[in-house]
Amino acid sequence: MSDAPAPEPRDPKATLVFDDPLNQQSSDDTDRGWGERPAGDSAADLRRFLDEKPPHHL
């Protein structure tokens, strides 16, 4: 007889997955975050414009 302990069940998250990574959509494949700004008032838009204006446009 063997004195080896019984194997414990494995964590399902720790298994290797050999799927094709090109079949999965990445965050770069979506349009989310590209030029989107939260809705705001016109005063905030003007303040943002003046803050981001290059110095040669003064």
Query: Alpha helix (H) ranges present in the chain?
Result: 42-52
Ranges of residues in the chain whose predicted pLDDT is under 70: 1-2, 10-12, 32-40, 58
pLDDT of residue 40: 67
Q: How far apart are CA 40 and CA 46, in angstroms?
A: 11
pLDDT of residue 36: 64
Q: How far apart are CA 47 and CA 53, in angstroms?
A: 10
pLDDT of residue 46: 86
